[in-house]
Structure 1
């Protein structure tokens, strides 16, 4: 293909600085600079002039160049030569791989229709051209009528919950927390999962703000906060309602704001008496005195800024929790103040030309949606019509990351399922593929990024030639389209053409921002005011007002939080983000994996003692869905009744099932979200025979 502007081939060989951006699943969406010596990237650094990145990269991304040069990186297309799951492959030419893929596509479409093909995309790359934000490949999938991939694994329940009250999942600019007088870090370990926000929290503290971390576990963020409140997992809705109850009792709600900017408050208020702090103390595990003290702080400290984490909504009542957090900000009137309100995601503030990017007009008819968190159930459903016959996985490692691990493996082991995996390394999911395709990494392709935790966009210029025979996802889709002999011109658009189409928008957020200006500067702030109050002029609901929940089953919605509990398994298992790895990315990096506690499970001293477990012992973690074995750590960082570990481990690295073997394939209350944190287990000491076996 002809060289596009920005291709490395068009740049003279010399020491140069190349603008780029981190592609990984993190709200910070960092802007970086790659120093290139000749043809070799030799240094990666955060952009010092970027207000959010401020020159710093996380410990994970600090290893990104080393990851691109890893000797275990996939460099050639491969086809399976052993049984599924064996990981045995042989190298093939790209032409052979594309022929095999297009033959399978054509057969599936002819026999079962386009919906028998499932494009399974994950969060491994959040780019608008190569990755999830732009739903890379959607044009191709629309053209062949493939099933729609429903992205349910991450934040959907919370998005739906917020939208029910505000009309959108968008919230406040996270930087505005610097102006808060009280900051509630609710269910978020930002020091590990998006550490750049912490400097704005520190600014608020320097101005006198009090920082409260609300989390069942004593995380790195908790240790830096002024106060820690630890509700039992799955009881956040009760705690929120207890706080609103106390604000009403103190006559500390903003009556004028409630009357002018909201609907449904009288009915909502009428349901609060059952959530008095003394009534919910037993449910939440939070003493009534702590609840009343926090309510007093909220009443006396406007504006109150709330940073809500994604893990907060990964349980049965997760959507409702985010909706109720929005209600707390409405009751205090903080949605109307700079520095007040809820920060959950800024995803969507970028007013791109989505229609031109997606080309949904290529669909000849509506297609079904398939939920990524129900992968095992879907692949194994004998009544699914049409069945899934081709699975195309990119930016994802579902064997390690999806719920119901054994069920996922069972589905991927089907002999009648043709699976293609596009990746950088031979992951657990690759082992079950028929074809594995090597993908370029971030320093090797063109992309545009935003961050779902800030208000900036960034240009990613390729800084090196693709390693080996690796191709960008866009080039892979172009080759598949050619192999299928598809004639739609947009399927062959270059990356630079896609960038132009993406930015060809009249949306106010892009005023003054062009492809040229973005490429020259590397990053630009979206065109929103510095002191941006998103709902100052009304909400995005049909009424233009904030909508309190008024349904008759309000109490049942709250009760849904704990619907996943099981008395047979008394410990609530939380699988949280690692400080040194990201989901299942970097698990094969020896330096980063060596710094992490790996797959160890942490128990409280009381729970360990009652089970005869000492630190370092091998233990079995189990429930009715599955089990895995690991080492035990003992710490009062987790309270009795809770056990914790990090997520994302590879089976081939730990030598067996991982935490998702115990997680149920079940939907949250809204949006079909995942319920990773509705996971009750027990832990038992492994005897010597078990270890030897």
Structure 2
């Protein structure tokens, strides 16, 4: 119901608009496309293609909607982004030791004898997984939650509350008890792994007393968790994406993902299962040019310092969701930067654009959609007519290319034909797009769980690929330390009412800029519910936020909803 409310809200973009004198004026599509083409041609001629930046993300993660519009910018040799801010660090972390990063699927989770949820509140962020966890609890399966904050998910079983940023150390503590007290699966380790002795030496550097001192978790608690890993097999570790968004987050993912290998469970973890062999390079037109690539962490600093003259944004809300969003907003406010936003709603980014174009929602267009979790891919049919004059992502970039006069046939390829070609060579998807359109969904053929695509063909506790890439072959275990003048650790997570920051209704804005603090901390600072405070992060601008007292937080930890302006 919230989706329907969202797509029918007053914030829905229904028609093209241009900014004139600080206000937006409705125009026709032809006028909007003509103006975009005029500006784009002028900037290309005066400054060159590298000064044109396209920014997109998973506001619409359909194969077509995400990839096809990039053809225009590859053909222009413009600047694109590297898509590193979501789960990339953890994906690389898992692949260093396992090859391809796929792990446990929903049916594996349903058969688990123990479930450990590390750094995720699945009651809010993965309601399908939460349903399985509830059923596991009903059957008497032990469930563990590792999270600094008490949540609805943590009520399912035992709750461990480490200090934020110390998860890699906690994983060492669990591994220490498995190796030194409860026993590893030696037959599994000999047959399916290499590098165990080096890993054992690393773990030996983190005895229980040291782990307790660093993480704040009593050693008896992670000892019990280690025992369940050994005695309740097959166990599944559900590793949250938010966990790896810290200084040592990727190292934590590495260490947690290796626990199943100690106890003899093939890929007994879930992190990200979006392993597919579709030809997305063809869909995005990688053969059409050689664009410059910018790291997403650098977008804010670059925009605020005067870099780029033309910015095209679709499928994301960078004024709120990207790193250093304060600097991104400074950049969007530049007079010499021309900003075009194609979005479903009047987002914070759209409200700073020179041209705002109406985008179709997932209900109003066709696409092919995969999953990060389950092994199926589906064909998403259009079920309602587009609202107002909204158009799909691929249509807009086709029209811009036509207006510019680009003579590149791939820019005008029929989107259905493009999808067919991108799926044709897939060995994981039988029947290609035709099968999807006929059946609605198809189960992909993943490699077996005991297949490891590493140089050795085994699970590598000591990663040769990491060594080759210049990383530590073993998890580089570390933890966040206190910074003088910054007494609190800020954590953020999803809320059950929303799926993303683009799904933000006006009544949510006050909640969005609230800062949640423990009762003890509030009392010691003389803060009251509803009071105003200035929140200043180590790497951003300060804003005024509303105090909310939260009995679910540890002392020294504050929490904010995903999409808050100070994150």
TM range (shorter): over 0.9
Which of residues 541, 554, 561 in structure 1 aligns to 2:454?
Answer: 541
Number of aligned residues? 560
* Matching residue within 466, 470, 494 for 1:577: 494
Task: Select 2:326's aligned residue among 402, 406, 409.
Answer: 406
Greater Cα shift, 202-211 or 424-433: 202-211
Tell me if structure 2 keeps the 8 A contact 1:443–1:463: yes
2:246 is the counterpart of 1:315: yes
Q: Identify the residue that residue 44 of structure 1 maps to in structure 2.
A: none
The CA deviation at 1:207 is 4.4
Residue of 256, 271, 274 corresponding to 1:344: 271
- Write out aligned runs for 1:148-547 (5 A): 148-223=80-155, 225-250=156-181, 252-335=183-266, 341-348=268-275, 350-363=276-289, 366-381=290-305, 387-507=307-427, 509-511=428-430, 513-528=431-446, 533-534=448-449, 536=450, 538-547=451-460
Give the whole-Å Cα distance in 1 for the aligned partners of 2:502 and 2:426. 36
Could you say which residue in structure 2 is the equivalent of 1:628?
543
Query: For residues 270 and 134 of structure 2, what CA distance do their matches in structure 1 show?
Result: 16
Distance in 2 between the 1:554 and 1:234 partners?
21
CA deviation after TM superposition for structure 1 residue 586, in Å: 2.6
Q: Give 3-state SS (helix, strand or coil) of 1:106's partner.
A: helix
TM-score, normalised on structure 2? 0.93
Between 297-306 and 489-498, the greater mean CA deviation after superposition: 489-498
Q: 1 CA distance for matches of 2:355 and 2:205?
A: 57
Query: How far 1:449 moved relative to its partner?
Result: 0.6
Offset at residue 556 of structure 1 (A): 9.2
Cα distance in 2 for partners of 1:478, 1:210 equals 53
Alignment partners' CA distance in 1, 2:236 and 2:472: 29
Name 1:641's counterpart in structure 2: 556
Structure 2 partner of 1:616: 530
Q: Secondary structure at the match of 2:123?
A: coil
2:170 and 2:184 map into 1 onto residues whose CA distance is: 17
Which residue in 1 is equivalent to 2:503?
Answer: 586
**In the aligned structure 1, how far is the partner of 2:206 from the partner of 2:92?**
24
What's the secondary structure of 1:630's corresponding residue?
strand
Alpha-carbon displacement from aligned partner over 1:156-200 (angstroms, at most 9, x marks no partner):
111111111112232221331111111001111111111011232
Contact 2:163 2:215 in 1 (8 A): yes
**d(CA) in 2 for partners of 1:320, 1:572:** 19
Cα distance between partner residues in 2 of 1:486 and 1:554: 47
Alpha-carbon separation, structure 2, partners of 1:496 and 1:506? 16
Q: Secondary structure at the match of 1:557?
A: coil
**Pairwise CA distance, 1:533:** 4.7
> Any stretches of 5+ residues in structure 2 without a counterpart?
none
User: In 1, distance between residues paired with 2:131 and 2:501?
Assistant: 27
Work out whether residues 604 and 643 of structure 1, in 8 Å CA contact, stay in contact via their aligned partners in 2. Answer: yes
- CA deviation string 1:233-260 (max 9, x = no partner): 0000000011111111125112122222
Runs of at least 4 residues off by over 3 Å: 202-208, 549-556, 596-599
**Counterpart selection for 2:59 from 105, 120, 124:** 124
1:204 deviates by 3.4
Q: 1:76 aligns with which of 3, 8, 15?
A: 15
1:81-160 residue pairs with structure 2 within 5 A? 81-83=20-22, 88-131=23-66, 135-160=67-92
Evaluate the alpha carbon distance shift between residue 623 and residue 477 of structure 1 in structure 2; reply closer, same or farther with a 3 A threshold. closer
Q: How much does 1:636 deviate?
A: 2.3
What is the match of residue 477 of structure 2? 558
> CA–CA distance in 1 between the matches of 2:518 and 2:77?
51
Deviation of the 1:597 alpha carbon: 4.7
Q: Report the CA distance between 1:356 and its aligned residue.
A: 3.2
**Alpha-carbon offset, residue 589 of structure 1:** 5.5
Deviation at 1:540, TM superposition (A): 1.0
Give 1:567 shift.
2.6
Give the C-alpha shift of residue 303 in structure 1. Answer: 1.1
> Greater share of helix residues, 1 or 2?
2
Give RMSD over aligned pairs.
2.2
TM-score by length of 1: 0.77
Give the Cα–Cα distance (whole angstroms) in 2 for the partners of residues 222 and 542 of structure 1. Answer: 38
